[in-house]
Amino acid sequence: MNIPQPFQYQGSKRSLAPRILDHLPRKMARLVEPFAGSGAISLACAGKGRSREYWLNDLNRPLSELLSMIVNQPKKISDFYQSIWHDRDTGHLEHYYTVRDEFNRTNDPKLLLYLLARCVKGAIRYNSDGNFNQSPDKRRLGTNPERMHTNITTVSMLLQGKSIFTSQDFRDVFSSIRKDDVVYMDPPYQGTCRTRDHRYLSGILFDDFVAGLDHLNQKGIRYLISYDGRLGDKSYGKQLPDCLDLVLIEIEAGRSTQATLLGQDAVTIESLYLSRSLVEEVGVDSTYLPRRSSEQTHLLEEPARYV
């Protein structure tokens, strides 16, 4: 089955999902995503029948509510999208800004679907006031309503009746993890600069995250974490401490779009950290790539106020 992405979302792990699933158990009672985003890994697992239940959490409440609507109210959200989608005419850019203003006023998740389908690179961006401020992609109009309907219907079919959706702090999610859960994490990161990453309404402190992982270790929870990894010889992200006893695996994700545009050969490497309890169950893939020494420590370091 071809698993669609419910909406365009920069940073989605959809393309890497088959490789990530290689490091998850073949059968799970429940897969938990504390930083769900578009829920790409849950969808990939559901398409393979790998888990009985799914818990998708994201601190961005409209995003979490949008995922819930897509799964539990597919016709309602699909019909709304069709009614608001704007074909190419002289007013389509003004229409986008009108919808954006309305979303910032109401936080209506139905409006967020249109913005994600229409904005530049499907990239969420927020200003310092917590308002969505990403611009429209002037070259495209967003997913056609018929295609969107098909995508939404497929996603709903995969997750309806076996998924819960929440908008909690990751520490609250960690405290509710069950012993038989498996946790996949793709946390917000600061990228290659020390300023706030405007893809997220909130950052998280590195030490808080490490403390949360230590708590999961003490409970014997199986988990897997995606990190920035590296581009060519440059590594991005502060490595998790040895005391967590994690196993690092690196996956080649191909040449970056930026490198391709610049005619460079730099290859993007995605990092996966596996908990010891997960490694003991699924083993470690033989395609291990050692971490390079050139590193920039700008991952999860500067929290931003949640609005």
pLDDT tens track for 31-67: 999 999 999 999 999 999 999 999 999 999 999 999 9
Cβ atoms of residues 264 and 274 within 8 Å: no
Above 70 in pLDDT, residue 191?
A: no
For residue 139, the model assigns a pLDDT of 82
For residue 263, the model assigns a pLDDT of 56
Above 70 in pLDDT, residue 251?
A: yes
Residue with tokens 């969505």: 132
**Contacts by 163-166, CB closer than 8 A, 24 or more apart:** 163/42, 163/53, 163/54, 163/55, 163/56, 163/71, 164/53, 164/54, 164/55, 164/56, 165/56, 165/57, 165/64, 165/65, 165/67, 165/68, 165/71, 166/55, 166/56, 166/57, 166/64
Spans of all domains in the chain: 17-61+163-296, 69-157
Q: Name the token pair of 45.
A: 């697992």
Query: Which residues are CB-contacts of 85 (< 8 A; sequence separation ≥ 6)?
Result: 114, 117, 141, 142, 144, 145, 148
CA-based nearest residue to 280, from 27, 41, 23: 23
pTM metric for this prediction: 0.86
Q: What is the mean pLDDT of residues 84-109?
A: 88
Cβ atoms of residues 166 and 67 within 8 Å: no
At the top level of CATH, which class does the domain 17-61+163-296 belong to? alpha beta
CA distance linking residue 138 with residue 148, whole number of Å = 19
Q: Domain 69-157, CATH 1.10.1020.10 — does that match?
A: yes
CA-based nearest residue to 45, from 69, 58, 28, 57: 28
In the chain, which ranges are E strands? 28-33, 51-57, 163-166, 181-185, 222-231, 234-236, 247-255, 267-274, 295-296
Q: Would you place residue 193 in the very low, low, confident or very high pLDDT band (cuts 50, 70, 90)? A: very low
Least confident of 129-138, 215-224, 281-290: 281-290
